[in-house]
Structure 1
């Protein structure tokens, strides 16, 4: 399990290596609402694709190693497993000059888009952290059958921001 202190240590490690990252997924939602609302088995991080060698090197130095056989895998994402079974789900982004970004999904041109306004800050354990906006989180929680944790996360966003979610 990832605890708040573990998240902040990963962010510090990557920041010291000069890497820009943004928290997504469950920890991203907790950052938006400013408190831990559930247990987290992993940490989703978005990073600049051109910084990927530095991201990998910094995480390897901290005891993480890339896990093979992840589906879907590259170019959309890759997973690094680390100390105490912690997993990082890493998503490379290619940024445009206007601050928007694309995440390649496959070799056929599939991609997810992130408007510049998707990159905001939240709070974990009293520390300001980069994360995805509530609107982007809601957008990414569409088009699939929600799991219990997805229902929980969307309920937290509705409570905190008064926004409408589709489940």
Structure 2
């Protein structure tokens, strides 16, 4: 079972990667908390998006901090991969290929499926008063569709509805 990710661990990892030359965006539950500007629940992992061409550097930086790729994580590559440290902190990493217009594509599977990110999907939020790159409200809402939501998903969408007045499908 993964160890909970608190804000100090998140900020330390974001600084490590940023200072190491990796451009990253926070997604998932931490991304929603960044948009809202406060921690609204416990988080068991940290979802990060990164430039696919920076992946070797990103892996090297994370390995230097004690993270090891977990090859059994499903679904796995090419859409995402998981790294975990000896304390159980878990990172869910999503490689993006950026286009000239600022949009990005994430490979979804080995059969040509993709996830699309419009250029305006990338914004800035705050974790403990520290600005962080994250996904936009609209992109978070879009990615929370088409599956049976968990209690965490329901919580996260309720937070976005309250903070931003957006409509969500659950």
- TM band (smaller chain): over 0.9
Mapped pair 1:87 → 2:90: yes
Q: Secondary structure at the match of 1:18?
A: coil
Paired with 1:162 and 1:106, the residues of 2 have a C-alpha distance of: 33
Q: Provide Cα deviations, 1:49-82, integer angstroms capped at 9, x if missing partner.
A: 0000000000000010001111111000000001
Matches within 5 A, 1:1-167: 1-167=4-170
Paired with 1:43 and 1:107, the residues of 2 have a C-alpha distance of: 24
Query: Which runs of no fewer than 5 residues in structure 2 stay unpaired?
Result: none
Aligned-residue CA RMSD (Å)? 0.6
4+ residue runs over 3 A deviation: none
CA drift at 1:83: 3.9
Q: Secondary structure at the match of 1:43?
A: strand
Aligned pair count reads: 167
CA drift at 1:2: 0.4
Query: Which runs of no fewer than 5 residues in structure 1 stay unpaired?
Result: none
